[in-house]
Amino acid sequence: MPGPGTFGPSSLPASPRCWKLHIVRQLQQRDRRQKTMFLDLVEAYHRLLEKSDLLAHFTEKLPPELPNDPVHLPSGEEEARPVPDSCPSARGLQEEMGGGLARSSWSCGEMAYQVVEKNRALSAQDGLLEEQRGRLAALEARARELEEMRQWLAQRVAGQQDRITEGKEAYDTLRAHASHQQGALRQLEEEGRELVERLVRVKMQAAEDQNYRNERIDRVKQARLSKELKKAVKKTVNITETIDPPAIPEPPPRKQDLLEVEACEKRWKRPFRSASATSMTLTRCMDVMKGLLDFRKRRGHSVSGLPEARYPSIPVRGVSCLPARAQDVQEAHHSEVNAVCFSSNSSLLATGGADRLIHLWNVVGGLLEADQTLEGAGGSVTSLEFEPSGCFLLAATYNKAAQLWKVGESQSKETLSGHTDKVTAAKFKLTRQQAVTGSRDRTVKEWDLNKASCSRTIDGLSYCNDVVCGDHLIISGHNDQKIRFWDSRVPRCIQVIPVEGKVTSLSISSDQLHLLSCSRDDTLKVIDLRANNIRQVFRADGFKCGSDWTKAVFRPLLPPSLSGSR
């Protein structure tokens, strides 16, 4: 602990600004204490001088000293003479003076030491004071910076609150406007529904009137054809095998016939309003023409000189009729439906759309029942095909890949990646162990599904829209108006069939003898795969191949017949 004349850190005040005043106060107290001690020392010294003078006076009154007395020392170096034992008071006074001088000397030394220690402590305190002043200045500067930052943040908070208030007012305004617009939209929707209902009623009435007129025209035409047939039965036609009969000029058409034909043409060119009337007319016309042809063959017994090539007959329909109404309608996708495919037994239907979803539907009694939704396609689904067993589904997507799904599982089993552009078609080969894909990167790839790897890449030379597969045959349709044939065992194209428009789709018959193609020249073509030539071309008024993804397919589970296009 520090002594009565010292001070330590524990005695310092808490505030640095009062340290100097406190130190000055401590120094003043020390000066007062030392001054008091020095005054006491001076007083004791004066008493000693007085006692010394008294002792000198007593000494003068003593008898002369003996010869053996010590020699007098020079002035300033003279020691105290021994006092004879006969003067006890002088001896006591001398001892008292010696003790006082010793105590004074010890007190002066101690006080000098304390003065040195105090000076050293004062220097240390001055250094500590300067350090604390520097820290205080730094803290004051930091406090000023923090105060400025606080003021800046307060200004920002005030600005943000103003903007929030403005945004809230704008939001309230927009909300009120949106409510008003929703009310107006609901009113417009109601008006639109009323207009649609009125239009439907008008169209239905117009359709009924048109059907009535068509029935009348059909009855007139049927009566006229019956008359002509009766006249033709009464006539005899002779045909010889060696001499060709002279060409008999046809009589000029009557004006009434021209008007009737023109009316029929107008009726066929306009949208179909009644499936029953149209089907009845087509059926009667075909029966009449068939009777005429059979009659001529029986009567003439014509024989051709050259044998004709024998082909399996392909049922032909000159014009197909749109159904009168949809058998079932389902809200399947949130966006466009790009691909539709039936399983081999037609009990399961798969649909794929631009919403990257694949829906599976059970076909029960001509109606669709939702079965499963397959998620995880990386892009719009462009093509779907079931494996022949119906257990696996292959999908082509716009994310430059094709995906293999197992029916009943929600996650894809394999992803076939390797194309550098959108995949437009993906088809199984004869078994699920192999598949073929076509892409906009002008390549056709063969895949080993067991390894999920590409086994062969074919340079298709043009944008590939669709592919189909046979035993060892791959057929691809391209944008350059060509159908190319590839053999899996040969590294080159073995056959090219040109058409008059971009090929949009290909479909192979169940017996793999015929190929159906759809192209942008608004025609469907049947190709005989044994002779690799176009067998038949189908056209119809009103049929348009309106896009590069229009599809035409053979109807499954029935003799090959055209199912239609989308």
Task: Assess contact for 562 and 314: CB atoms under 8 A.
Answer: no
The model's confidence at residue 188, banded by pLDDT at 50, 70 and 90, is very high
Find how far residue 496's CA is from the centre of its chain: 42
- By three-state DSSP, how is residue 92 classified? helix
Q: Which residue has the tokens 């006092």?
A: 83
Residue 209 scores a pLDDT above 70: yes
pTM: 0.45
Rounded Cα distance, 264 and 285, in Å: 12
pLDDT of residue 288: 40
Looking at per-residue confidence, does 50 or 108 come out higher? Answer: 50
What's the mean per-residue pLDDT of the chain?
A: 76
pLDDT, tens digit, for every residue of 344-394? 888 889 999 888 889 999 988 888 888 888 887 778 899 999 988 888 899
Residue 436 scores a pLDDT above 90: yes
Domain ranges of the chain: 158-215, 337-477+491-498
Q: Kindly state the tokens that stand for 30.
A: 């020390």
Burial bucket for residue 113 (CB in 10 Å: 0-12, 13-18, 19+): exposed
- What CATH number labels 337-477+491-498? 2.130.10.10
Residue 67 scores a pLDDT above 70: no
pLDDT of residue 99: 66
pLDDT of residue 163: 93
Looking at per-residue confidence, does 336 or 250 come out higher? Answer: 336
Q: Is 308 left (phi over 0), alpha (psi -120 to 50) or beta?
A: beta
- Residue 428: other Cβ atoms inside 10 A: 20
First to last CA, the chain: 106
pLDDT of residue 343: 87
pLDDT of residue 185: 93
Q: Kindly state the tokens that stand for 41.
A: 């020392």
Buried b (16+ CB within 10 A) or exposed e, 24-46: eebeeebeeeeeeeeeebeebee
Residue 12 scores a pLDDT above 70: no
Looking at per-residue confidence, does 165 or 85 come out higher? Answer: 165
pLDDT, tens digit, for every residue of 282-302? 344 444 444 444 433 333 333
pLDDT of residue 555: 76
